[in-house]
Chains A and B, each alone.
Chain A
Amino acid sequence: MNVSISINGEQVSREVEPRQLLVHFIRETPELTGTHWGCDTSNCGACVVLMDGEAVKSCTVLAAMAVGHEIRTVESLEVDGQLDPVQQGFHEHHALQCGFCTPGMQMTARALLDENPNPTEAEIRIAISGGICRCTGYKNIVAAIRWAADHETTATQGV
């Protein structure tokens, strides 16, 4: 079947089998391998992307089910060389080691901050509880998301 999905604002069309999973549809699009394909069982959260602004695990969504929805991947965070506060926070707080969980963590964090710009540490921990980091633990990831929240607030207040 022909599947046409809006990914990061661009319409991507391809002939695929109905059983194609969204994560593979995204990764087989040129230059969009930032979304990671991990456990394949909706446990690890490495494949999280935004669907209409909501975090979803793209290994458990069919590409066909994403037709008509806006998909955002980790590649959309940086705009014109300017890192998203979430990405900058990961940089500031060394919130990754191997980086495998990072795209999922960052998109989950993006969805959280879009909905709740000033989350508590507990709220951050609940929000990322669907992501698994096997390197460093979660302390720096939580600190990075909190950093992003602080710096988004500053930016907003400046306007």
Chain B
Amino acid sequence: MKTPAPFEYERATSVDGAIATLQRLGPDARVIAGGHSLLPMMKLRLAQPKHLVDINDLNELSYIRAQNGEIWIGALTRHVDLLRSELLAEHFPVFRDAEEVIADPVVRNRGTIGGSLCQADAAEDLSAVCSAVKAKVVIRGADGERVVSMNDFHVGPYMTAVGDGELLTEVRIPVRSGGSSAHEKVERRAGDWAIAAASAAVWIEDGAIADVGIALSSVGLTTIHLTRAEEQLRGKGPTAELFAEAGEIASEDCSPMPDGRGPVDYKRHLAGVLTTRALSRARKRALNQEA
């Protein structure tokens, strides 16, 4: 039987209350939402928090809405709601692509976007998705909120910018015209972690790439943000040749580890192919050539 180490359990009844509790308990406390990353880690004793603060009752953190030219997603929004959101699919279809292949429908009933991002596992799809669409996250503490970019949010493997006594409350994605996005993933079987996955977003203006975001899952210790490939693409025409070049850069700039899912050369190859495919699909969608 896999059982977590003992801990104290508290259920938060408000966001401020949760933050006050986290502040009081300090580094020994962890927030639990869906629990589908944290509880397995606790069963393996890879995580042994002394206190769990359950935020599942904080319905005010579960929403997807358009606001101030951005899409705002509450941290407690579950995978199933991200999958089914028409608003999100309209502006950022990359979410639907990813959600269709994240774990399985039963797990998706519980897991949350905030939990996925805070887990900061390089194999997790939503971190790459949020990097590609240039999302920002809102971190709230007793002294107020701060908004940080995905690059500043993930500070290392399983490490985020969320400090003691703080809570990730929201994900914000700026909506810009002429853009679309896609996620491509290869997995060994339904519901498995990716062998490799690529998220891409492109914004096209006057026939050229005004901006682009590309990020990879499962091919490094952290989510790989392909800044070199992005620089290569900006300002140029969105051609198949250019996207193939971006794929080559992806193969070079990732740093996969060999494991049961495959050797390094295979994963590098896959990262490249998936990057090219994700860019192509994002471009087709941006030009309304594909749903």
| CA–CA, A14 and B103, complex, Å | 32
B5 surroundings in chain A (CB, below 8 A): 19
In the assembled complex, the Cα of A28 lies from the Cα of B3 at a distance in Å of 15
Which of the segments A4-12, A80-88, A126-134 contacts the partner chain?
Answer: A126-134
Those of A35-77 within 8 Å (CB) of chain B: 40-43, 45, 48, 54-57, 60-62, 64-65, 67-68
Given contacts A18-B9, A64-B9, A65-B35, contact A40 B1 (CB under 8 A): yes
Any chain A CB within 8 A of the CB of B158? no
| A55 contact from B36, B52, B56, B109, Cβ within 8 A | B109
**A55 contacts B54, C-beta separation under 8 Å:** no
| Bound CA span A43–B189, Å | 12
Residues of B within 8 A of A1 (CB): 9
Q: How many residues of B contact A (CB 8 A)?
A: 30
Distance between Cα atoms of A65 and B36 in the complex (Å): 13
Q: Are A64 and B54 in contact (CB under 8 A)?
A: yes
Chain A contacts for B106, CB-based, 8 A? 45, 48, 55-57, 108, 130-131
Q: Which of A19, A68, A129 contacts B6 (CB 8 A)?
A: A19
Does B146 have its Cβ within 8 Å of any Cβ on chain A?
no
Q: Would A57 and B6 be within 8 Å (CB), given that A64-B54, A130-B191 are in contact?
A: no
Report A-chain residues with C-beta under 8 Å of the C-beta of B110.
Answer: 56-57, 60-61
In the complex, whether B60 has a CB less than 8 A from a CB of chain A is no
B159 is an interface residue with CB less than 8 A from chain A: no
Among A19, A40, A129, max chain B CB count under 10 A is at: A19
Contact partners of B43 in chain A: CB under 8 A:
40-41
Query: With the chains together, A68 CA to B182 CA distance in Å?
Result: 39
Taking CB atoms, residues of chain A closer than 8 Å to B36 are: 42, 57, 60
How far in angstroms is the closest Cβ of chain B from A124?
A: 11
A15 to chain B, nearest CB (A): 13
Contact at A60–B105, with CB atoms within 8 Å? Answer: no
Contact of B104 with A60 in the complex, beta carbons under 8 Å: no
A21 CB-CB contact with B under 8 Å: yes
Contact B105 A56 (CB under 8 A): no
Q: Is the CB of A60 within 8 A of B40?
A: yes
Q: Provide the residues of chain B in CB contact with A42, threshold 8 Å.
A: 36, 40, 103, 107
B35 touches A56 (CB 8 A): no
Chain B nearest Cβ from A6, distance in angstroms: 16
Least CB separation from A47: chain B residue: B106
Complex Cα distance, B1 from A108, in Å, reads 24
- Identify whether the interface residues of A are mostly helix, strand, loop, or mixed: mixed
Does B241 lie at the interface of the complex (its beta carbon under 8 Å from any beta carbon of A)? no
Tell me if A121 is interfacial: C-beta within 8 Å of chain B: no
Residues of B within 8 A of A45 (CB): 104, 106
Set A41, A62, A68, A127: member contacting B105, Cβ < 8 A: A127
Q: Let me know if B3 and A18 touch, CB within 8 A.
A: no
B84 to chain A, nearest CB (A): 11
Contacts A18-B8, A60-B35, A64-B54 given; indicate if A129 touches B40 (C-beta within 8 A): no
Q: How far is the CA of A67 from the CA of B110 in the complex (A)?
A: 15
Which of B7, B8, B191 has the most A CB atoms < 10 Å from its CB? B191
List, in ascending order, chain B residues with CB within 8 A of A60's CB. 35-36, 39-40, 107, 110
B2 adjacent to A62 (CB under 8 Å): no
B237 CB–A CB distance under 8 Å: no
Name B1-28 residues within 8 Å CB distance of A: 1-9, 11
If the complex has contacts A19-B7, A54-B109, A130-B104, are A65 and B2 also in contact, measured as CB distance less than 8 A?
Answer: no
Q: Name 23 interchain pairs, CB-CB below 8 A, sorted by A.
A: A18-B6, A18-B7, A19-B5, A19-B6, A19-B42, A40-B1, A41-B40, A41-B43, A42-B36, A42-B107, A45-B106, A56-B110, A60-B110, A61-B110, A62-B9, A62-B52, A64-B54, A65-B32, A65-B35, A65-B54, A67-B11, A130-B106, A130-B191
Counting from the closest, the 8 A-B pairs by CB-CB distance are A130-B104, A18-B9, A130-B106, A129-B190, A40-B2, A19-B4, A55-B106, A129-B104
